[in-house]
């Protein structure tokens, strides 16, 4: 479509995936929209909120609305009127949200942020940095630790103080103590680089889960296609949820930086204009395993081969000190749309916190190990939890359903916490080769000590994949 086409036509074409049309419309309207956003933001937010970020947020909403049919330009000028309406609404919402001026409203990394490590280094070195951070925090008074930990993870001191109910001055004093304790000890652990929200143009919806949504996006400076995952808005103010999101992003980034090819790389994290969180990931060509399972069981040799590859990846992760924490079909993407040539890639890491004890329940109820559902009863979460998750994923590939089913997540979590044994694969589908059924049963043992190591499990799966019987 020619770049001088009517705006309504460019919007319609861009909504169907025509990036040239979308860029032409952006060049036509973005400057005007940014000026509108700037005029609608209060002076007290000047220099703290980037009007271009507001425009980009509105721009993404415009295209998503056009793609789903919620927003339809019906005549000349309608594309601008729709965009302007969204800009005004978002700017007003930002002004109201930041009315108390208690939280940082602009920079993604702030002067208060104590980065206990640099961006370089291996995964194991970064994880060692986390352990050192835990030891340093332990030397602070108990009341000072929560806010100091948040600032160490990159939060603004004002925001951390508001979240834990302390004054910004006291938080900064505690962070200064933490710096003094930690100086010379931290070398390598950090979050992936901060990303600018306005650099990404959303072009399509990829999927959703319990914690957020994932979109296809174009990185505007280069035109490269990536995936952007947004933490669900309702979780943005949940300190524990934000920690999990950031911890998972840091783990995946560290592994990828260390050369691990079996994970979906996280390129960076950032904040939206509304102070939500997003992560930028490599765009993967194939579906997740859950999409295949929804269509029915997978051929046993293929299922065993994928599970073996995942086990080998997990073994390397464990050697680097990383526990995935939420292994399930929806968190495994295929590298190619053709399953016959695709490799499975782990995504959505949810490693358990190493600096908090005792750990609370976490994981997906249908696929989590008993110790994830009740660590007080079954012991701390370790690498064996990933073995359980991998065994449960193999169970689902072979049978078309998870090993644990129930009417609700609460029911499933209760069964996991009680350590109720799951059924045999052969009870669900007698056609499954006996060797694979036995391997599943071993991986799904109730007690962690009764499960094989992930390396042994992967080796056995490789043998089974070669000649399942």
Domain with CATH 3.30.200.20 in the chain: 194-282
**CATH code of the domain occupying 102-190:** 1.10.10
The answer on pLDDT for 43 being more than 80 is no
**CATH code of the domain occupying 289-466:** 1.10.510.10
Rounded CA gap, 440 and 329, in Å? 15
Cα-based torsion angle of the residue sequence 170, 174, 177, 181 in order, rounded to the nearest 10 degrees: 180
pLDDT of residue 141: 82
Domain with CATH 1.10.510.10 in the chain: 289-466
State how beta strands 194-195 and 212-219 pair. unpaired
Query: With bands split at pLDDT 50, 70 and 90, how would you rate the model's confidence at 408?
Result: confident
Catalytic residue among 53, 174, 288, 326: 326
pLDDT of residue 316: 94
pLDDT of residue 142: 83
Query: With bands split at pLDDT 50, 70 and 90, how would you rate the model's confidence at 393?
Result: very high
Domain with CATH 1.10.10 in the chain: 102-190
Rg (CA), the chain: 24
Cα-based torsion angle of the residue sequence 358, 360, 366, 367 in order, rounded to the nearest 10 degrees: -50
| pLDDT tens sequence across 321-368 | 889 999 999 999 999 999 989 999 999 998 886 544 444 556 789 999
Using a pLDDT cut of 70, give the percent of the chain over it: 83
Q: Which residues pair with 334 in a beta bridge?
A: 344
- Please check whether residue 282 is in contact with residue 227, taking contact to mean a CB–CB distance below 8 angstroms: yes
Max mean pLDDT among 87-101, 110-124, 236-250 falls in 236-250
Query: With bands split at pLDDT 50, 70 and 90, how would you rate the model's confidence at 121?
Result: very low
Give yes or no: 18 in active site.
no
pLDDT of residue 47: 57
pLDDT of residue 96: 67
CB atoms within 10 A of CB 126: 30
pLDDT of residue 355: 47
Q: Which range among 132-146, 171-185, 287-301, 385-399 shows the weakest confidence by mean pLDDT? A: 171-185
| pLDDT tens sequence across 49-90 | 667 777 777 877 887 778 777 787 777 778 888 888 888 888
Cis peptide before 358 (omega within 30 of 0): yes
HSE-up (13 A, CA, CB side) for residue 320: 27
| pLDDT tens sequence across 415-454 | 999 999 999 999 999 999 999 999 999 999 999 999 999 9
What token pair was written down for 130?
Answer: 């986390």
- Pairwise pLDDT comparison (462 vs 164), residue with the higher score: 462
H/E run at residue 194: strand 194-195
User: Which of 93, 99, 92, 80 lies closest to 31 in space, CA to CA?
Assistant: 80
Mean pLDDT, range 202-208, rounded to an integer:
88
Query: With bands split at pLDDT 50, 70 and 90, how would you rate the model's confidence at 32?
Result: confident
The answer on pLDDT for 1 being more than 60 is yes
In three-state form (DSSP H/G/I as H, E/B as E, the rest C), the secondary structure along 396-437 is: HHHHCCCCCCCCCHHHHHHHHHHCCCCCCHHHHCCCCCHHHH
Query: With bands split at pLDDT 50, 70 and 90, how would you rate the model's confidence at 239?
Result: confident
Q: Which CATH architecture has domain 7-97?
A: Orthogonal Bundle (1.10)
| pLDDT tens sequence across 135-173 | 677 777 888 888 887 777 666 677 777 778 888 888 877
Burial label for 239, CB within 10 Å (0-12, 13-18, 19+), is: middle
Q: Which CATH architecture has domain 194-282?
A: 2-Layer Sandwich (3.30)
H/E run at residue 333: strand 332-334
Mean pLDDT, range 295-324, rounded to an integer:
94
pTM of the model: 0.66
The answer on pLDDT for 105 being more than 70 is no
Is residue 229 part of an annotated ligand binding site?
Answer: yes
């Amino acid at each position: 479509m020619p770049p001088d086409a009517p705006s309504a036509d460019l919007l319609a074409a861009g909504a169907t995936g025509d990036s040239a049309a979308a860029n032409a419309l952006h060049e036509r309207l973005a400057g005007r929209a940014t000026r509108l956003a700037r005029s609608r933001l209060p002076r007290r937010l000047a220099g703290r909120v980037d009007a271009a970020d507001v425009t980009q947020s509105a721009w993404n909403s415009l295209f998503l609305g056009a793609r789903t049919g919620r927003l339809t330009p019906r005549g000349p000028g309608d594309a601008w009127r729709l965009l302007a309406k969204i800009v005004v609404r978002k700017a007003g919402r930002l002004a109201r949200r930041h009315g108390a001026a208690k939280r940082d409203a602009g920079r993604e990394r702030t002067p208060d942020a104590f980065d206990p490590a640099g961006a370089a280094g291996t995964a194991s070195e970064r994880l060692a940095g986390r352990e050192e951070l835990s030891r340093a925090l332990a030397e602070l008074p108990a009341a000072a630790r929560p806010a100091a930990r948040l600032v160490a993870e990159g939060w603004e001191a004002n925001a951390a103080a508001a979240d834990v109910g302390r004054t910004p001055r006291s938080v900064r004093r505690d962070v200064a103590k933490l710096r003094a304790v930690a100086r010379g000890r931290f070398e390598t652990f950090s979050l992936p680089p901060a990303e600018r929200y306005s650099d990404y143009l959303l072009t399509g919806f990829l999927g959703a889960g319990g914690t957020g949504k994932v979109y296809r996006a174009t990185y505007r400076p280069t035109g490269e296609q990536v995936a952007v995952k947004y933490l669900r808005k309702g979780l943005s103010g949940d300190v524990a949820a934000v920690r999990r999101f950031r911890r998972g992003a840091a783990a995946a980034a560290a592994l990828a930086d260390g050369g691990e090819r079996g994970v979906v790389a996280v390129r960076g994290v950032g904040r939206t204009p509304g102070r939500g969180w997003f992560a930028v990931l490599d765009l993967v060509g194939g579906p997740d395993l859950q999409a295949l399972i929804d269509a029915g069981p997978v051929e046993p040799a293929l299922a065993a081969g994928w599970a073996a590859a995942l086990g080998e990846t997990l073994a390397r992760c464990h050697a680097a000190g990383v526990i995935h924490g939420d292994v399930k079909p929806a968190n495994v993407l295929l590298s190619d749309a053709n399953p016959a040539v695709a490799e499975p890639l782990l995504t959505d890491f949810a490693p358990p916190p190493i600096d908090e004890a005792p750990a609370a329940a976490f994981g997906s109820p249908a696929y989590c190990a008993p110790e994830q559902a009740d660590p007080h009863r079954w012991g701390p979460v370790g690498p064996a939890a990933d073995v359980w998750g991998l065994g449960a994923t193999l169970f689902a590939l072979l049978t078309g359903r998870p090993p644990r089913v129930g009417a609700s997540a609460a029911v499933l979590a209760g069964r996991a916490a009680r350590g109720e044994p799951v059924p045999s694969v052969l009870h669900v589908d007698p056609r499954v080769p006996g060797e694979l059924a036995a391997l599943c049963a071993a991986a799904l043992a109730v007690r962690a000590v009764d499960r094989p190591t992930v390396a042994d499990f992967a080796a056995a799966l490789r043998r089974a994949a070669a000649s399942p019987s």
